[in-house]
Amino acid sequence: MDAQEYFDTTPAPQGVEDVAQRVREFVEHNQRLSRRVVLVSSGGTTVPLEANTVRFLDNFSAGTRGAASAEHFIASGYGVIFLHRQFSLEPYTRHFTHSKNCFLDFLERDAAAHERAADGGAASSGSSAGHDARPRRGSLRVAERLQAEIAEVFDKYQAARAEHRLLKIDFVTVHDYLFLLRRITMEMSPLGKLGMYYLAAAVSDYFIPQAKMAVHKIQSGDGALTLSLEQVPKIIKPLVQEWAEHGFIVSFKLETDDAMLLPKARKALERYGHQLVIGNMLHTRKHVVHFISADRAEEIRLTPDEVAANFEIETHIISRLVGLHSEWIARE
Amino acid sequence: MDAQEYFDTTPAPQGVEDVAQRVREFVEHNQRLSRRVVLVSSGGTTVPLEANTVRFLDNFSAGTRGAASAEHFIASGYGVIFLHRQFSLEPYTRHFTHSKNCFLDFLERDAAAHERAADGGAASSGSSAGHDARPRRGSLRVAERLQAEIAEVFDKYQAARAEHRLLKIDFVTVHDYLFLLRRITMEMSPLGKLGMYYLAAAVSDYFIPQAKMAVHKIQSGDGALTLSLEQVPKIIKPLVQEWAEHGFIVSFKLETDDAMLLPKARKALERYGHQLVIGNMLHTRKHVVHFISADRAEEIRLTPDEVAANFEIETHIISRLVGLHSEWIARE
């Protein structure tokens, strides 16, 4: 099934036109400021196995790469359309979510405010002084030990919002993703060369077409289950050739078998004619990536010191990409 | 494959003994206080399709039922072992996570503290008075409009922690879940009738046995994909008959086809001999559930007023269960 047939035979998810409107306004705002805009896709897509979905296929991805990259793009002056899997990591909050600690652990009662109130004579319900195990009644604030760390991120987040540098759009299924990607890239096309497409989402390769999907929950108890899946259309083809033909397009390849990486990246470049494949291996993806273009391959690798310091490889990736995007814009 | 064969042929995940130690201490603590303890399982399990996992099957479940139930069990005096899918909803934080707003949106700079500091002569870097778009330099606190709402939950969360009423353990794959469930229920068996098992997790019915799993990422580009899955062993059988034979055991049935619900619930009760099945339909599960036991079936349904007020059906479910558990404990 090619992309056209897919879009012709699959019901469009709700809300796509609403997203298009938000993207249009975001693009116009950034155009007025002559800002570059990057679409960052992030996180895995689900593949529903039933129309009334109880079960689905999914791709391993917390959205780490995409969320970190979005933040670094903003720091580099870009406007970012962050198209991400619902509840995957997001720029800024990523530093604090998806941890063992929940956000209630970041908070504490403001004892000082409590005491100020007490000094002022607003005594609380008549417990005597001395040891009191009940929580203090001061207002809730970020715990003292976390103030500096959270404040640094909070300020960046507030600045990105105030400057309209970040537009967040979420998806769940591969269908949401494909329809949104098409619609968003169309709205981005007025950006021409100033638009970058950084396709870091882990998009499913297989799906069950609408016409072949079970209506109700597949019943267990009937022994083994055999699922027949078809290939998801290669969306990058119309993206490169029709929807974003002047944009700078970066796709990702994730592999677990070293030998597959370079050949598969080159094959993708030949087939789709876009500008760059970033290749990475499942188990080393946070420390080394490969930039593979039609005429060269280069490696970006953290030094042992950087690894020890938890330096983010996305800093190097985005820095290099900004340079390549500048070259792309300067080309005739 | 039965449960014994499954455990014999599947490598145990890491960390199970560490969890067992934590459960043992939690159970002992609650036993000293003569507290009832409930194991609440929550969220969906994944089924890896490759040993180096890129793709997996998953079950639709945000963990709404389990997280809400855990909170209501604690409010009813229970100690709760909350065995949940990583990053699924959790008691207390559930009110604020998985929303469109991220926790940074809950915070604001404390303008009053800023002004107090300024009044005290600790002037910040020399910007003049008047309009200043930069964020204020006061410390970070919960936004005024959210103080009351978050404080109410914060106090409950702090109390549950202070009283050691909540032990959180997470899983990702169906393998993690099965091994952890076995180990945890064994550690809970000294509780006898005081132990309840509230199995709300959406456990996969199918999996790919270790011996048949692809080592590397399944390659696309070879046309269609056919997956052959086998049935996950029915863990509830040894749970009822061996691991928790004196406990009060509640399983769940989720269906999308109305006609399947009662027959499947009765069949499960006959087959496993446990105390209760809570049946629910995918699209009405927040408003109506069915309590099905060997000798009766009853419906718990929110009134239209309760629905309008966003009342949680788990309040009724847990209230009824506490009563049934009391009857169970009183039985000879």
pLDDT of residue B129: 42
Cα A79 to Cα A73: distance, rounded to the nearest angstrom? 8
Does an H or E element contain A72, and which?
helix A64-75
Q: Which one of B106, B140, B257 would you mutate to disrupt binding with A, by most A Cβ within 10 Å of its Cβ?
A: B140
pLDDT of residue B260: 87
Residues of B in contact with A174 (CB under 8 A): none
**A133: contact with B, CB 8 A cutoff:** yes
What proportion of chain A, given as a percentage, has pLDDT over 90?
67
* DSSP H helical ranges for A92-238: 111-119, 147-162, 174-188, 236-238
Residues of A in contact with B97 (CB under 8 A): 97, 102-103
Q: Decide if B198 contacts B70 (C-beta within 8 A).
A: no
Q: Rounded to the nearest 10 degrees, what angle do helices A174-188 and A16-32 cross at?
A: 30
- Contact across the interface for B139 and A151, Cβ inside 8 Å: yes
Domains of chain A (ranges, CATH numbers):
3-98+140-264 (3.40.50.10300)
Least confident of A110-114, A207-211, A289-293, B186-190: A110-114
**The dihedral sign for the CA sequence B199, B202, B208, B211:** negative
Phi-psi region of B13 (alpha: psi -120 to 50; beta: other; left: phi over 0): beta
Distance from CA of A77 to the nearest CA of B (A): 18
Structure token pair of residue B139? 């410390």
pLDDT in tens, A24-47: 999 999 999 999 999 999 999 999
- Contact across the interface for A154 and B139, Cβ inside 8 Å: no
Residue A190, φ and ψ in degrees, nearest 5: -60, -15
**A71: contact with B, CB 8 A cutoff:** no
Q: Answer with the residue of higher pLDDT: A219 or B84.
A: B84
Q: Which one of A60, A171, A216, A229 would you mutate to disrupt binding with B, by most B Cβ within 10 Å of its Cβ?
A: A60
pLDDT in tens, A158-200: 999 999 999 999 999 999 999 999 999 999 999 999 999 999 9
Indicate if the pLDDT at residue A135 is higher than 50. no
Least confident of A36-45, A87-96, A205-214, B29-38: A205-214
Tokens 């969360």 belong to which residue? B157
Indicate if the pLDDT at residue A125 is higher than 60. no
Residues of A in contact with B106 (CB under 8 A): 103
**A202: contact with B, CB 8 A cutoff:** yes
Residues of B in contact with A154 (CB under 8 A): 104, 107, 135, 140
- Contact across the interface for A226 and B228, Cβ inside 8 Å: yes
pLDDT of residue A130: 42
Indicate if the pLDDT at residue A73 is higher than 80. yes
Q: Compare CB distances from B53 to A60, A154, A155 and report the shortest one's residue.
A: A60
pLDDT of residue B96: 82
- Among candidates A204, A205, A208, which has minimal Cα distance to A229? A208
How many C-beta atoms surround the C-beta of residue A34 within 10 A? 7
Query: B288-292 and A140-142: which strand pairing?
Result: unpaired
Cα A12 to Cα B173: distance, rounded to the nearest angstrom? 31
Interface of A with B in 93-132 (CB under 8 A): 93, 96-98, 102-104, 106-107, 110
Supply the ipTM of this predicted assembly: 0.82
Give the residue on B whose Cα is nearest the Cα of A204: B55
What angle (nearest 5°) sits at the alpha carbon of residue A154, between those of residues A153 and A158?
A: 120
- Among candidates A289, A121, A259, A281, which has minimal Cα distance to A198? A289
Distance from CA of B328 to the nearest CA of A (A): 30
Taking the mean position of all CA atoms in its chain, how far away is CA A4? 26
- Contact across the interface for B135 and A158, Cβ inside 8 Å: yes
Distance from CA of A304 to the nearest CA of B (A): 25
Q: Compare CB distances from A141 to B57, B139, B162 and report the shortest one's residue.
A: B139
- Torsion angle, alpha carbons of A235, A239, A243, A245, to 10: -170
Tokens 């083994």 belong to which residue? A224
CB pairs under 8 A between A and B: 182
Each residue's pLDDT, cut to its tens digit, for chain B (332 residues) gives 889 999 999 999 999 999 999 999 999 999 999 999 999 999 999 998 877 667 889 988 889 999 999 999 999 999 999 999 998 999 999 988 766 667 899 999 987 655 555 554 444 444 444 444 444 478 999 999 999 999 999 999 999 999 999 999 999 999 999 999 999 999 999 999 999 999 999 999 889 888 777 766 666 556 788 888 899 999 999 999 999 999 999 999 988 888 888 999 999 999 999 999 999 988 899 999 999 999 899 999 999 999 999 999 999 999 999 999 999 999 97
pLDDT of residue A97: 72
Cα A200 to Cα A286: distance, rounded to the nearest angstrom? 14
**B139: contact with A, CB 8 A cutoff:** yes
Taking the mean position of all CA atoms in its chain, how far away is CA B111? 38
pLDDT of residue B247: 96
Query: A166-171 and A79-85: which strand pairing?
Result: parallel
